């Protein structure tokens, strides 16, 4: 059975390599955004010859295809998450680093219209990311 991300690679003319499989497996298992270095370390458990250049190239490709989401971690670095289909945004816990996605474009249409009217900018794209405290961390602080 071909998984959705494999089908998307295939449909766009890309091969399904062991390196790409290792990276996607790590991203699917992760609950927090991972840096390229963290992906490399974990990915080598699945494919021991995985290299950092391959990780970066694969992340670029998967991001371009909408299969991976680049997020800003609370430590100031970038991390990567497996992306859900459709229009989603990320929310990250400031305490444990756990990340979740939430849907959202319809709610932004009014805001983007107001920004366009007030600034004169034609908005081509946006990045919305929220930070907070997840329910598990809140339960431990109580």
What is the per-residue pLDDT across 46-57, written as a single tens digit (0 to 9) for each? 999 999 999 999
Q: In what order do the strands lie in the sheet with 88-93?
A: 99-103, 88-93, 129-132
Please tell me the least confidently modeled range out of 10-19, 26-35, 78-87, 130-139: 78-87
Intra-chain end-to-end CA distance of the chain, in Å: 45
pLDDT tier, 142 (very low <50, low <70, confident <90, very high otherwise): low
- Spell out the domain ranges in the chain: 4-141
pLDDT tier, 39 (very low <50, low <70, confident <90, very high otherwise): very high
List, for residues 71-84, the tens digit of each pLDDT value: 888 788 889 998 87
**Per DSSP, what are the bridge partners of residue 90?**
101, 129
Q: What is the pTM of this model?
A: 0.75
What count of other Cβ atoms lies within 10 Å of the Cβ of residue 109?
9
> The domain at 4-141 falls in which architecture?
Orthogonal Bundle (1.10)
């Amino acid at each position: 059975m071909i998984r959705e991300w494999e089908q998307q690679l295939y449909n766009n003319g890309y091969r399904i390599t062991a390196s790409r499989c290792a990276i996607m497996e790590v991203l699917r298992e992760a609950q927090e955004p991972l840096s390229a270095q963290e992906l490399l370390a974990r990915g080598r458990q699945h494919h021991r010859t995985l290299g950092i250049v391959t990780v970066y190239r694969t992340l670029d490709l998967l991001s371009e295809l909408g299969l991976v989401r680049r997020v800003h971690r609370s430590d100031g670095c970038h991390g990567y998450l497996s992306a859900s289909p459709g229009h989603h945004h990320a929310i990250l816990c400031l305490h444990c680093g756990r990340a979740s996605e939430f849907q959202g474009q319809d709610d932004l249409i009014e805001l983007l219209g107001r920004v366009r009217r007030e600034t004169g900018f034609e908005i081509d794209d946006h990045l919305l990311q929220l930070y907070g405290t997840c329910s598990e961390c809140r339960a431990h602080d109580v």
